[in-house]
Amino acid sequence: MSLNEEYEEGEYGRAPKRLKTAEVEEGEELEEGEDSDSESAGLLGDVENVGAEKRWTATKYGPARRDNGEEAHRIAQSPVVHVRGLCEAVVEADLVEALEKFGPICYVMMMPFKRQALVEFEMVEGADKCVSCGGSEAVYIAGQQAFFNYSTSKRITRPTNSDNPNSGNKVLLLSIQNPLYPITTDVLYTVCNPVGSVMRIVIFKRNGIQAMSVECAQKAKAALNGADIYAGCCTLKIEYARPTRLNVIRNDNESWDYTKPYLVRRGSHCPLLPLPGNSRYKLSSHDVPEVVSYPLPQSSAYNNHASSSVAMVSGLHPTKMNCTRIFNLFCLYGNIEKVKFMKSVPGTALVEMGDEYAVDRAITHLNSIKVFGKRLNVCVSKQHAVIPSQVFELEDGSSSYKDFAMTRNNRFTSQGQASKNIIQPPSCVLHYYNVPPCISEDQLLRLCSEHDVPGFTKFKMFDAKPSSKTISGLLEFDSKTHAVEVLTVLNHYQIRIPNGSNPYTLKLCFSTSSHL
């Protein structure tokens, strides 16, 4: 699924990320320089102090005011209104219902991970009324007070030329953001069909769904745009697609024509996936918030996921890869329990992950990538657990077996922590976080040089909060392969500073940005 979305406004030039920060769980200690804000920002992607950069007005032309009351620049009138402070469960229909009293609305762009949206009115007078009313009295959207200001854009750029409810297009494009669990035709059918009859579904890098009529397509977009399929993940972003019809040649998990049941079928139709039974971050009934759009079924016929929580990785460089470096790379897609190199098959290792869905994600994003000049092959192992037998010494002197079950660097140890991870394929831009403020661009370049990995070509540091003990930013490399190698070597590197009692753990992940 594609996670990359480009917005017209400069401050929205990145793909949507969560701004929600989770408090440190009770009893969990933080490393020096590591606080809950920095941890959240690092896991969520490229957050550039959105609150500090956005400016908010209280009146039509009155002085602009930030949240802290400081004077800022004025923003000119625009038919596009920037909405913030939205609740997690809000969808497009909620915004239209609450704001159409100010004037006709022609387009809505949801930014669910930021709890923000852009609303374009047909006339600038509608935007004037919305901003003025929001500055003088509380305006509630889905039961929560929202805040409004003019956008710096005069029009929201539509992702496609056909993104017009009056165009007659029946095909919707669904982008699944943060897909922690597999998305199949059955999942999308179960979610969309109650809103409007579904005719065809095709899953590719993005998901298209064809509704019965124009009215049904409009209704589905309004009801589901911004909704979560599962709690805290698999968020739907919906636009009208360019194609006016979907072509389906067979019925299976990747495509389905509900008007032609005689097409070749692979497996029976089933509802939404249940949460995995052995998942470390399985939701309890107490943990499930109201953000879940549809109830999770008790059983499912879906069995296309990995049959084991152990992945087999071959094509590993004999001198440059070890257990720790495998962990550094694979931990982006799920918890790592154990890693063991196979003595009988050189360059091959078994990686036991938290559950079979983590193995699915690792295979999807890491299979066939190049690391240190060798192409990885990642597949499901026949083993159901990694047993520490035949332990030997690797060429770099490290052990061929390592247990990571208790390490703090696993990023999916709780539902709250897991929901902050954006599942992202390898890219040439890395997001770094949990770095001490005294570290400079030159020092990071020197760190790359000292560990014999490629240096970055572009560097960007995000503005940090005054109370933050760490900094974060982006590093762009010449190629995706270079970025993968740097992450493999330097992820979780211990940065020591003078007079510091504990080191800072450098944390890296792939950015949703394609370039700086």
Question: What is the per-residue DSSP string for 488-504?
Answer: HHHTT-EE--TT-SS-E
Specify whether 367 is located in the same domain as 445. no
395, 417, 439: which is the final residue of a domain?
A: 417
CB distance 294 to 191 below 8 Å:
yes
Specify whether 407 is located in the same domain as 314. yes
Tokens encoding 428: 């040439």
Amino acid at 441: E
CB distance 230 to 275 below 8 Å:
yes
Specify whether 413 is located in the same domain as 428. no
How far is 475 from 483, CA to CA, in rounded Å?
A: 9
CA 238, 242, 246, 251 dihedral sign is negative
Number of Cβ atoms within 10 Å of the Cβ of 259: 12
Range of the domain at 468: 424-510
393 part of a folded domain: yes
Specify whether 231 is located in the same domain as 146. no
Kindly give, in sequence order, each residue whose CB lies less than 8 Å from that of residue 29, ignoring residues fewer than 6 positions away: none
385 part of a folded domain: yes
274 part of a folded domain: no
Number of domains in the chain: 4
CA angle 99, 100, 103 (to 5 degrees): 110
Specify whether 468 is located in the same domain as 439. yes
Specify whether 211 is located in the same domain as 122. no
472 part of a folded domain: yes
Specify whether 399 is located in the same domain as 451. no
User: What is the pLDDT, as a whole number, of residue 34?
Assistant: 43
200 part of a folded domain: yes
The separation between the first and the last C-alpha atoms of the chain, rounded to the nearest angstrom, is: 22
User: What is the pLDDT, as a whole number, of residue 285?
Assistant: 40
CA 361, 364, 369, 375 dihedral sign is positive
| CATH number for the domain that contains residue 327 | 3.30.70.330
As averages over each run of 10 residues, the pLDDT of the chain (516 residues) reads 37 36 36 42 41 39 41 73 88 89 89 86 92 91 90 80 59 82 82 82 62 62 83 80 76 78 52 48 40 36 62 94 96 94 93 91 92 94 88 94 93 83 90 92 94 94 87 94 96 89 91 86
Residues forming a β-bridge with 141? 144
Closest CA to 362 of 343, 391, 339, 390: 339
Specify whether 410 is located in the same domain as 318. yes
CB distance 84 to 147 below 8 Å:
yes
Closest CA to 378 of 311, 305, 307: 311
65 part of a folded domain: no
In which residue are the tokens 């004999």 written? 318
SS3 141: strand
192, 226, 257: which is the final residue of a domain?
A: 257
Specify whether 325 is located in the same domain as 404. yes
How far is 138 from 363, CA to CA, in rounded Å?
A: 48
Specify whether 186 is located in the same domain as 243. yes
Specify whether 474 is located in the same domain as 458. yes
197 part of a folded domain: yes
516 part of a folded domain: no
Specify whether 412 is located in the same domain as 457. no
257, 282, 299: which is the final residue of a domain?
A: 257
Phi and psi at residue 249, to the nearest 5°: -105, -15
